[in-house]
Amino acid sequence: MAALTEVSSNKSFGGQQKVFSHESAELKCTMKFGVFLPPAASGGKVPVIYWLSGLTCTEQNFVTKAGAQKYAAEHGLIIVAPDTSPRGVNIEGEDDSYDFGSGAGFYVDATQDKWQTNYRMYSYITKELPTLINENFPTIPDRQSIMGHSMGGHGALICTLKNPGKYRSVSAFSPICNPVNCPWGQKAFNGYLGADQAVWKTYDACELARQYNGPALDILVDQGKADNFLTQKQLLPENLVEVCSEKKIPITLRMQEDYDHSYFFIASFIEDHIRHHALHLKA
């Protein structure tokens, strides 16, 4: 593991929950990611799930709050949880707001001068990180899935829809489904991608679903009915369901009574999501 520096390691459900850092070529900075290695990984190669976190998060949120290790151990799955954004790249204004800059990389490759050198989270997630993981851990490279929360749910959906066949399955908690039509997405896309909304659409799950032409998908989305961001029209899951219905893309949207946007919500249903991915990864 010459390219990696181990930051921490903890025994969990018979496996190991580790955190590593590395120097990212795409992002031009030091990045961290969490990786859970199930007991099965000590005896051979196993499938991998990538988890993408939301606004303001780091790799630690999922590792410490989601309660996923127990179910990943039971199903024999590696889970990789990267940070959400470049860190410490010293761009003026990167720390000015919670929904843009550090902690809010939005899983795009920025095109605007100020951000384009470092803010390349899409390429980091879909290219650099999987290569690093496959070189250093006992994965089965053609058996990978992806899931995420909020901004990370947006990331999981677009990574799947932009790369037909790359991921065996996709799921999301409270995803930003139609960012070209919500305040979070409009702010991020204008800042990272400029004013051309045709470019914005290349990172929008609804627009990508409308154009999707690839292997059959089985999308699982959980959304809390008490989520404040749902009522603020930041998430717009109904738009994604409408497009998927038109395109005959199978999608299950579960509206969960009284649940909000927090990791209490995620921890309540993470078992279902890991089972969803296990079915496809081991088919």
Pairing of strands 78-82, 29-37: antiparallel
Exactly one of 149, 261, 273, 277 is catalytic; name it.
261
Exactly one of 150, 169, 171, 174 is catalytic; name it.
150
CA–CA separation, 162 and 22 (whole Å): 26
Phi and psi at 163, nearest 5°, equal -135, 70
Annotation says 280 is catalytic:
no
CA–CA separation, 248 and 228 (whole Å): 30
Annotation says 261 is catalytic:
yes
Pairing of strands 78-82, 46-52: parallel
Exactly one of 53, 227, 276, 277 is catalytic; name it.
227
Annotation says 99 is catalytic:
no
199 burial class (0-12, 13-18, 19+ CB within 10 angstroms)? middle
Which residues does the annotation mark as catalytic? 150, 227, 261
